[in-house]
Chain A
Amino acid sequence: MEERSILREYKPAKEGKIPKDISELTEEEKERLKFLGLDEGLQRVGEFVQVDAKPVLCRRKVEGLEILPITEALKKYDWLSDYYWKLLSPDKDEFTKAAAEDLDDGYFIRVLPGVKIVYPVQTCLYIRTEKVAQKVHNIVIVEEDAELNLVTSCTVHPHVESAFHIGVSEFYVKKRGKLTFSMLHVWGEQTMVRPRTGILIEEGGLYVSTYVSLYPVKDIQTSPICRLTGKGARASFVSIIANHPGSKIDIGGEVWLEAENTSTEIISRAVVYGGENIARGKIVAKSPKVKGHLECQGLMLSDNGIMRAIPELDSHFYDVELTHEAAVGKIARDEVEYLMARGLSEDEATSLIVKGFLTVKVEGIPPSLQAQTDKVLETAKLGF
């Protein structure tokens, strides 16, 4: 109930100062969006940008790919009702309820059967007005034998202090389809964030998710639920978090292995400068002959923070392989001294070690997206 009252403190995003199109944004805003991937210099096959409640850019450059604002897609395709609120329930919590009652739009992306799209599609959900709550609903469908690389950047105006983002996402990966989903978050120190994500992967499908949040934020709480329903389906989740003083970040991830030979890996790396970090992960074996691994590593850089690792393995069969490893610790002194002997100050050495710790090579992710994640890591201030 307390959180609901928090949501009431925010204005509807529809009351925001929404520009007609992207060219009306200030240079400073454009620079921030560019940093997050909305960059002419990067090869993109499609783009979608939503400012507060309204999509301001929606285009695709290749055949076999559809990108529409979700409100338009729902009008255009009757069949979309089979996908809308099917992996998540509006009654899940007050945030899903709020998104169902007063939707501000979101994206619909579909890749037609057999179409393999190499270059990424970039989406950006941007809040530019102070004290608004943005509520989006996204649906992604990767049809049979299709492939999509999707990057979503979420951010606020550089001078917006306080905002609320609710993002409902439903992702469908059909037979032998492949979806890589990279989410880069650069929120403000007073931003509240509630992503609500459901994922369904059919036989032989692959889903690779990378979540990166390295900047201060007030409060993020999310726990995607991913169901692997067909034989041989795979899913991997990587989250890379820098937890700053005053931030509360609670990232979960629940994978249900529902068919034989399905497998999953949930990896989390968090550096805690302060605030509260919770890394949850849960793997549920609902079929024999499945594999799952949970890995959670935390690096504490301060005594004024909390790091909590909560791994959970849940099996209903004996012929399964579920493992987890979790470790929380500090930076090793000998590593800092080693780098200092090469000419780095203590701060520079710490920053490099932290960057290394947060560098996770994600299998299945295209090099251009890896490069973008690396760039964000490079730019984030990771020393003291």
Chain B
Amino acid sequence: MKPILLEVSDLWVEVEGRLVLKGISLKIPVGETHVIFGRNGSGKTTLLMTLMGFPSYKVKQGRIYFKGEDITELPPYERAKRGIGIMFQRPPTIRGVKLRDILKLCAKENGKKIEELARLFNFESFLDREVNKGFSGGELKKSELLQLLLQDPDLVLLDEPESGVDVENLNLIGQMIKRLLQKDTPHRPRTKSGLIITHTGFILQHVAADLGYVVMDGEIYCTGNPLEIFEAIQRFGYEGCKECLRRKMLED
């Protein structure tokens, strides 16, 4: 049995007075990547934001354990220090702050080389630009992933890494995620885990996942092989999930 890195137990979360997550439970073992499918508005992003600890996501019930520690009440920076990193879907621009400044902050404790990594992913020319300002969809993702590569977290939360990215860049984004999750070196034991939100599922063509979930209306509706789930969604849509006999059998 692999040790469990993240355990979410019966999590109920409210955002701006509205109950969004209704009893989510999941476990991510060390070295595994899980993927969450769901429509817009189903609660996927809320789950990630809650795991990172942003204050507007209020936990009404349930606990979050990371490396065995209850982190439910910890602020985001304490979670970051313990090894959780997040890729934002729509990161903000911070005026006057260069990407390099942020990368330095991300790298401060592990001494990873900024220039080297930026060169590897052909992103050097962005180092001295204001972070996220005027970046295209693909550039935003690269900026986010470069920050995460330097931060080197044990649990990576990725919010729709493929959204707004053209086909050409999707491949590169995929490579960056693989590196982040140690999937580029198949024969070494993996210590990094991931939780990836996907709306379209296309990221699965680049990054293999161990387990998939379908989230509907704030609940985990279905758990299973991510490729099978993706295929079913492609054929029948999320409407199909509602008709799912396997789920009905489980409920009975």
B11 at the interface (CB under 8 A from A): no
Asked whether, in the complex, the Cβ of B91 is within 8 Å of the Cβ of A344, the reply is no
Asked whether, in the complex, the Cβ of B86 is within 8 Å of the Cβ of A341, the reply is yes
A194 at the interface (CB under 8 A from B): no
Using a CB-CB cutoff of 8 Å, which residues 339-384 of chain A contact chain B? Answer: 339-346, 352-353, 355-360
Asked whether, in the complex, the Cβ of A335 is within 8 Å of the Cβ of B92, the reply is yes
Using a CB-CB cutoff of 8 Å, which residues 94-128 of chain B contact chain A? Answer: 94-97, 101-102, 105-106, 108
Asked whether, in the complex, the Cβ of B96 is within 8 Å of the Cβ of A342, the reply is no
Using a CB-CB cutoff of 8 Å, which residues 71-86 of chain B contact chain A? Answer: 75-77, 80-81, 85-86
Tell me the complex Cα distance, A296–B147, Å: 32
B33 at the interface (CB under 8 A from A): no
Asked whether, in the complex, the Cβ of B95 is within 8 Å of the Cβ of A357, the reply is yes
Asked whether, in the complex, the Cβ of A342 is within 8 Å of the Cβ of B105, the reply is yes
A93 at the interface (CB under 8 A from B): no
Q: Which residues of A contact B77 (CB under 8 A)?
A: 340-341, 343-346
Asked whether, in the complex, the Cβ of B75 is within 8 Å of the Cβ of A340, the reply is yes
Asked whether, in the complex, the Cβ of A343 is within 8 Å of the Cβ of B54, the reply is no
0/1 string, B34-51, CB within 8 A of A gives 1 = 000000000000000000
B238 at the interface (CB under 8 A from A): no
Asked whether, in the complex, the Cβ of B52 is within 8 Å of the Cβ of A341, the reply is yes
Tell me the complex Cα distance, A197–B77, Å: 47
Asked whether, in the complex, the Cβ of A353 is within 8 Å of the Cβ of B76, the reply is no
Tell me the complex Cα distance, A345–B75, Å: 9
A317 at the interface (CB under 8 A from B): no
Q: Which residue of B is nearest A358, CB measured? A: B96
Tell me the complex Cα distance, A346–B80, Å: 13
Tell me the complex Cα distance, A353–B102, Å: 11
In angstroms, how far is the closest chain A Cβ from the Cβ of B191?
A: 19
Q: Which residues of A contact B76 (CB under 8 A)?
A: 337, 340-341
A334 at the interface (CB under 8 A from B): yes
Residue in contact with A335 in the complex, picked from B81, B94, B106, CB distance below 8 Å: B94
In angstroms, how far is the closest chain B Cβ from the Cβ of A296?
A: 15
Asked whether, in the complex, the Cβ of A352 is within 8 Å of the Cβ of B101, the reply is yes
B221 at the interface (CB under 8 A from A): no
A338 at the interface (CB under 8 A from B): yes
In angstroms, how far is the closest chain B Cβ from the Cβ of A286?
A: 34
Tell me the complex Cα distance, A341–B80, Å: 6
B193 at the interface (CB under 8 A from A): no
Residue in contact with A340 in the complex, picked from B80, B85, B108, CB distance below 8 Å: B80
Instruction: Please classify the interface of chain A as helix (H, G, I), strand (E, B), loop, or mixed, using the class held by over half of its residues.
Output: helix
Q: Which residue of A is nearest B102, CB measured? A: A342
**Chain A interface, number of residues (Cβ within 8 angstroms):** 21
Residue in contact with B94 in the complex, picked from A338, A340, A343, A358, CB distance below 8 Å: A338
0/1 string, A238-252, CB within 8 A of B gives 1 = 000000000000000
Tell me the complex Cα distance, A382–B178, Å: 39
B151 at the interface (CB under 8 A from A): yes
Q: Which residues of B contact A346 (CB under 8 A)?
A: 75, 77
Using a CB-CB cutoff of 8 Å, which residues 269-292 of chain A contact chain B? Answer: none
Asked whether, in the complex, the Cβ of A353 is within 8 Å of the Cβ of B94, the reply is yes
Asked whether, in the complex, the Cβ of A342 is within 8 Å of the Cβ of B95, the reply is no
Tell me the complex Cα distance, A338–B151, Å: 14
Q: Which residues of A contact B94 (CB under 8 A)?
A: 335, 338-339, 352-353, 356
Asked whether, in the complex, the Cβ of B88 is within 8 Å of the Cβ of A338, the reply is yes
In angstroms, how far is the closest chain A Cβ from the Cβ of B45?
A: 13
In angstroms, how far is the closest chain B Cβ from the Cβ of A336?
A: 9
Tell me the complex Cα distance, A360–B130, Å: 12
Q: Knowing A334-B92, A337-B54, say if A342 contacts B97 (CB, 8 Å).
A: no
A1 at the interface (CB under 8 A from B): no
In angstroms, how far is the closest chain A Cβ from the Cβ of B247?
A: 34
Tell me the complex Cα distance, A247–B35, Å: 54
A332 at the interface (CB under 8 A from B): yes
0/1 string, A177-205, CB within 8 A of B gives 1 = 00000000000000000000000000000
Q: Which residue of B is nearest A361, CB measured? A: B96
Q: Which residues of B contact A345 (CB under 8 A)?
A: 75, 77
Residue in contact with B95 in the complex, picked from A341, A343, A356, CB distance below 8 Å: A356
Asked whether, in the complex, the Cβ of A338 is within 8 Å of the Cβ of B96, the reply is no
Tell me the complex Cα distance, A326–B190, Å: 52
Q: Which residues of A contact B91 (CB under 8 A)?
A: 338
Tell me the complex Cα distance, A359–B130, Å: 11
Asked whether, in the complex, the Cβ of A343 is within 8 Å of the Cβ of B97, the reply is no
Q: Which residues of B contact A339 (CB under 8 A)?
A: 94, 102, 105
Asked whether, in the complex, the Cβ of B97 is within 8 Å of the Cβ of A355, the reply is yes
- 6 shortest interchain CB distances as A-B pairs: A356-B96, A359-B96, A356-B97, A343-B80, A340-B76, A334-B92
27 contacts between A and B (CB under 8 A): A335-B92, A338-B88, A338-B91, A338-B92, A339-B102, A339-B105, A341-B52, A341-B85, A341-B88, A342-B105, A342-B147, A343-B77, A343-B80, A343-B81, A343-B151, A344-B77, A344-B105, A345-B75, A345-B77, A346-B77, A352-B94, A352-B97, A356-B96, A356-B97, A356-B130, A357-B96, A359-B96
A342-B151, A355-B97 known; 8 new pairs, CB 8 Å cut-off, are A337-B55, A343-B77, A343-B106, A344-B105, A346-B77, A352-B101, A353-B97, A359-B96
